[in-house]
Chains A and B, each alone.
Chain A
Amino acid sequence: MQDSIILENVGVRFGELSILSDVNLSIRAGEFIVVLGPNGAGKTTLLKLLLGLIRPSAGKIQVLGRTPRRGNQAIGYVPQHRVIEPETPLRARDLVGFGLDGHRWGIGFPGRSRRETIDRALDEVDTLSLAESPVGLLSGGEQQRLMIAQALLTNPQILLLDEPLANLDLAHQQEAVSLISRICKTRGASTLLVSHDINPLLQVTDRVLFLARSHAAIGAPSEVINNETLSRLYGLPVEVARVADRFFVLGAEL
């Protein structure tokens, strides 16, 4: 099968600060990847590289066989959650609609097919009943779903999700995980999900990409999250405890 994302010896530097160095990986179509790592390890930078928002200072990147470029419709992007003011004068439907034609010039006329497309996207994330509600009044989890619906409108082959679980409680985390993995499977889209915790995602993830000290390691969860690999990545002794099919990393901040 064709690899949808390929990174070869990729490095990113800002002045003297090295964010990523010598990162090599390839991600197959339809693969579900969880991106882990401490703060500042370059997780968001990696997503921005793929989106073409920043250029690598070294190495080569291929996204669906091409170098990354801004405005790539084949990528659906859900950035980190940010607070939407309660009084934002915008309906859920309008927010999701940006994903369809927000980048096009001109007013654009509301038509039946546009409406149906948006309804389908809302339905896919189980938020059709919220279509006419002001977005600012919805809960964090509901807003998250809308952002996913927005990202799905261009039928992306790659989904990039930046910490979609960060603001959710445990029950909602499980809901979000099953929703995202369902989308990944039914659409066959490669999914990169940035998270601070692997445990809620263990059932659905294919491989784990671990970033620390600007280096990367990729593989099945147990291949990466073990004493040897993490100690090498962090450059200090790290213990991984495995209790009841859950990973706990000791001695390092995740």
Chain B
Amino acid sequence: MSVLDLLRQEFVRNAFLAGTIIAVVSGIVGYFVILRGQAFAAETLSHVGFAGAAGAALIGINSLVGMSILTVLTAIGMGSLGQRMKGRDVEVGMVLSFMLGLGVLFLSLYTQNATRAVNLLFGSILSVTREDVILTLGSSAVVLITLIVSFRPLLFASLDPVAAEARGVPVQFLSVLFLLVLALTVSQAVEVVGALLVFTLLVVPAASAERFAIRPFSALILSVIISLFSTWAGLLLSLVGHQPASFYIVAFTSLFYILSCLAPRFHVSGRYRELPHPSREV
């Protein structure tokens, strides 16, 4: 069967639809994750997503719904820690391991089904259904509209929370709001790459983009391009090569990140160059 024939298949079209939506949303949300230094929080929410999906399987509801409920609840809990979230690695880590344990429990209650567990952890984009696509679309719309409405204050609050607060930006509220957005996005991304690999869509493209471009808008666009390219290329290669799509997606985003580390940081060369200085904190 040629690739073109494959693309006419229902399940392949669903995969591409869902993959595209999720890549765009994660590219944008990821930009803010980097800006706010919440990579570990994103990683933790993805493990919460794992527990949510396993719980959903147990009680027989759609996994996206289960993930969204549990991640949103956790996001509210984390958000109520507020500014104290920063440097709270240990607390975040404890939540992470507890959620993994919970996910393991749900799965073992479910049928002791190993395949199911592996799909949740590493993604099964090719088994996405029409219903999943519609749910993904709905939840993405919520995420995107929220981001568009709150874009400027969110950017301000992420870059300089103290100044933003002084200017009357509701920093605390935005911090909770963003975690909710992050929760929904993570839940979607789990479907494509699985709970263990959410980082690859949600953080890596934005981190690479941020090294290439300094203006928020161009960084955002670049981040979306990287995550879209990786997702599409991953899906195509997985159809041809029969290896899991998540592996190829990870390989591509990692490649972009390495390239971004090697590339000179040209955006700073014109105006301001950081020179090595012994008295500057490294």
Contact = CB atoms under 8 A, between A and B. Distances in A.
| Direct A–B contact present (CB less than 8 angstroms) | yes
Interface of A: 12, 14-15, 17, 19, 40, 42-45, 48, 54, 85
Contacts of A14: 275-278
A44 B278 CA distance: 7
B269 interface: no
Given A42-B279, A44-B279, A45-B279, 4 more contacts: A14-B276, A40-B277, A43-B279, A48-B278
Nearest to A54: B278
A45 B275 contact: no
B274 to A, nearest CB: 11
Contacts of A40: 277, 279
B138 interface: no
B278 A17 contact: no
Interface of B: 87, 275-279
Contacts of B275: 14-15, 17
9 contacts: A14-B278, A15-B276, A17-B275, A17-B276, A19-B277, A19-B278, A44-B278, A44-B279, A45-B278
Contacts of A12: 278
B91 to A, nearest CB: 11
B162 to A, nearest CB: 16
A54 B279 CA distance: 11
Nearest to B279: A44
Contacts of A45: 278-279
Nearest to B90: A87
Nearest to B276: A14
Contacts of B277: 14, 17, 19, 40
Nearest to B275: A17
Contacts of A19: 277-278
Give me the 9 closest cross-chain CB pairs, A-B, nearest first. A44-B279, A45-B278, A14-B276, A17-B275, A48-B278, A54-B278, A45-B279, A44-B278, A14-B275
Contacts of A43: 279
Contacts of B278: 12, 14, 19, 44-45, 48, 54
A17 B279 CA distance: 13
A125 to B, nearest CB: 26
A55 to B, nearest CB: 11
A42 B276 CA distance: 13
A223 to B, nearest CB: 26
Contacts of A48: 278
Nearest to B87: A85
Contacts of B87: 85
A230 B202 CA distance: 54
A122 B114 CA distance: 60
A186 B228 CA distance: 69
A14 B277 CA distance: 7
A48 B87 CA distance: 29
B265 to A, nearest CB: 16
A85 B84 CA distance: 12
A85 B89 CA distance: 13
A89 to B, nearest CB: 11
